[in-house]
Chain A
Amino acid sequence: MTFYKTRKDLLYLAIFALVIVAMPLWLKPFGAGYPDLMQRFMIFGVFAIGFNILFGMTGYLSFGHAAFLGAGSYAAVWSFKLLSLNPIPALLFAMVVGGVFAALVGVVSLRRSGIYFSILTLAFAQMSYSLAYSVLMPITHGDSGLQLANTDPRVLDRLFGADGTLPNLFGLSMHGMYGFYFCALILLACFYFSMRLDNSPFGMALRAIKSNQTRMSYTGFNTKPYARTAFIISGMYAGLAGGMLAVTDPLAGAERMQWTASGEVVLMTILGGAGTLLGPFIGAVIIKYFENIFSAFSDAKLNEIFAFLPDGLQDFIVMIVSPFVGEGWHLTLGIMFMLIVIFLPGGIMEGCRRVMKNLRRRSSEHPTRRSQLKPAE
């Protein structure tokens, strides 16, 4: 691992870009090739990649990242309402709001590390969640959520005579395939940025903070500003992801700030592999994919699937499976969470590495065995 293997980085990025752009093709057989779901892959990919900068690289486990996501959504919807239905100012605004919010939370939370940090961020997120339902009602519109209305001022749109009722990029609807490619572009930019970050001295400093924070200060680093910057960057990623959610569906609600949402991004990151570049994105895709499939199942559908089985067995299997699908999707999520932490704390990327290592060992074992056999002949 050396720095600035720029050419290799670019190759890596190019392959990744190709895979992303071709997503509609290769996801079709899995029944996931439609823009709505793929957009969610992109959005939560951005969220998880940003979370990884804080958790995976710097080692700070935040349990309140959903607050930044929620704040980003509100910011974007307000930008739609007040300025323009164009997503670009909305996303910029969402990023700024996410970053500023993270900076404020960071001032307090980053004074402590370890579990204190986790608890402080969780407390901040819960606080924002309950405030969104009370004092901040004028901004969040509480239970009903923040929505677009025809009476919105939309100053810039009025000025340039643009019209429409849904977010659009100079007339391109952000709902279908264009929306997907728009999100994919943002994801690629975010991925590239995090890759460069990882390969920079700054990224190395973050990784060193993760492994031994006190030792860092004895090598001459002031660790706090590094951690704070990482926190703000990941807050901006979260804000951006929240903004993207609002772009694809212009509605913002406080439930996005709940602790379960914060837990979900933690799960995505560790499922894929915390600290790796690609892992968090893979984790996001897997979780959103299975959420989509699992939560769509109902008992009737299960019965249909297992209809080929004998009656008694069919009922039995449906009975066993049904608590884990549909409404019970969160149960599956929780079990997955535990299994990953217990058996594969390095996530899928770590698992792949292990498998590769085993394969390589097996193939290299072959010749040695033969050479050992030779003297015996």
Chain B
Amino acid sequence: MSQPVLDVSDVDKNFGGLRALSNINLQIKQGTTHAIIGPNGAGKSTLLNVCIGRLPPDRGAVIFNSDVITGRQPHEINQMGVVRVFQTPAIFPDLSVKQNVMLPAFAKRDGAFRLNMMQAVADQRQLESEAEHWLEDVGLLSHQHQLVGSLSRGDKRRLELAMGLIQKPRLLLLDEPTAGMSRHDTNTTIELLKKIKLRGMTEVIIEHDMHVVFSLADRISVLAQGQIIAEGTPEEIRGNPKVQEAYLGGTQV
């Protein structure tokens, strides 16, 4: 078996006296979709924040493609190919839909910083058509010139997704990608994510909607009170009594 793309080993994270993550170990293999589920406050978002460098872990390390990424700057981690799609759409309200999508693409073309103020039109068209392509995939092409401040919440989520995808990530971290979407939009998003997965993308997905989880995930980890209490294939998780007690048995099936 090849080496895992993302290797989270022995990660602890405390907030004051509160233990948000304790002794987390997680391996994610190339080309798989790994879902992380768990009740609210289980530490799912904290785990993603540790992975993208937003929070430093108190102990342990995150290794991406055999590089240790803990302690690096967020933009460095992003440039290595770890991309997160945020739960609350964190987009740039002063820019248009298309510009929002192009911005991360510029970062990928130019690196973390480059002074290309007077760059010629040459590869501009290519970037633009790429942005249009991804906007079409998420169904936002007709809105491309609109300022994002005026988008609906569901549209903002889809824009977030397009911003993540245009970066051609090597590892995509999705934080509840379908929250707040209608049934129809959720299904479209699932189809889109399946399509991307076929291209060999590695994905980590946090989700409450079990329909989404079971249609996409190859493996599932269950997080509760900062600990991984179970891990396995969707079938194994479905049949695990411990998980049902902690999570599935609750309100959420």
Q: Does B121 contact A (CB under 8 A)?
A: yes
> Could you tell me the distance between the alpha carbons of A219 and B54 in the complex, rounded to whole angstroms?
13
Contact call A218/B124, Cβ cutoff below 8 A: no
**Pair count A-B, CB < 8 A:** 98
Most chain A CB within 10 A, of B52, B73, B94, is at B94
> Could you tell me the distance between the alpha carbons of A158 and B61 in the complex, rounded to whole angstroms?
69
Q: Does B158 contact A (CB under 8 A)?
A: no
> Could you tell me the distance between the alpha carbons of A3 and B103 in the complex, rounded to whole angstroms?
12
Contact call B112/A202, Cβ cutoff below 8 A: no
Q: Does A200 contact B (CB under 8 A)?
A: yes
Minimum CB–CB distance for A34 against chain B, Å: 37
Query: How many interface residues does chain B have, given as a range?
Result: 35 or more
Q: Does A207 contact B (CB under 8 A)?
A: yes
Interface of A, secondary structure class, is helix
Closest B residue to A210 by CB, please name it: B94
> Could you tell me the distance between the alpha carbons of A229 and B113 in the complex, rounded to whole angstroms?
10
Known: A1-B96, A212-B90, A225-B113. A217 touches B75 (CB 8 A): yes
Digit string of A206-221 for contact with B (CB within 8 Å is 1, else 0)? 0110111011111111
Q: Does B170 contact A (CB under 8 A)?
A: no
Say which residue of B73, B119, B124, B163 sits within 8 Å of A219 (CB atoms): B163
Minimum CB–CB distance for A218 against chain B, Å: 6
Known: A4-B121, A200-B117, A212-B92. A218 touches B145 (CB 8 A): no
> Could you tell me the distance between the alpha carbons of A216 and B94 in the complex, rounded to whole angstroms?
13
Contact call A217/B117, Cβ cutoff below 8 A: no
> Could you tell me the distance between the alpha carbons of A218 and B103 in the complex, rounded to whole angstroms?
11
Chain A residues positioned under 8 Å from B236 (CB to CB): none
Chain A residues positioned under 8 Å from B75 (CB to CB): 216-218, 220-223
Contact call B73/A221, Cβ cutoff below 8 A: no
Interface size on A, residues (CB 8 A): 32
Chain A residues positioned under 8 Å from B145 (CB to CB): 1-2
- With A210-B94, A221-B75 given, name 19 new contacts (CB 8 A): A202-B115, A202-B116, A202-B117, A203-B117, A204-B99, A205-B103, A211-B92, A212-B93, A214-B74, A214-B90, A215-B86, A215-B90, A218-B54, A218-B75, A219-B78, A219-B167, A220-B78, A221-B107, A225-B112
Q: Does B214 contact A (CB under 8 A)?
A: no
> Could you tell me the distance between the alpha carbons of A112 and B119 in the complex, rounded to whole angstroms?
30
> Could you tell me the distance between the alpha carbons of A74 and B101 in the complex, rounded to whole angstroms?
45
- Name A170-207 residues within 8 Å CB distance of B: 196-197, 200-205, 207
A-B contact pairs, 17 of them (CB 8 A): A6-B121, A200-B116, A200-B118, A200-B119, A202-B116, A204-B95, A204-B99, A207-B95, A208-B92, A208-B103, A211-B92, A217-B74, A218-B74, A220-B79, A222-B73, A222-B75, A225-B113
Known: A3-B124, A218-B52. A211 touches B106 (CB 8 A): no
Closest B residue to A209 by CB, please name it: B92
Minimum CB–CB distance for A305 against chain B, Å: 45
Q: Does A101 contact B (CB under 8 A)?
A: no
Q: Does B128 contact A (CB under 8 A)?
A: yes
Q: Does B104 contact A (CB under 8 A)?
A: yes
Chain A residues positioned under 8 Å from B78 (CB to CB): 217-220
Q: Does B98 contact A (CB under 8 A)?
A: yes
Minimum CB–CB distance for B55 against chain A, Å: 12
Contact call B107/A219, Cβ cutoff below 8 A: yes
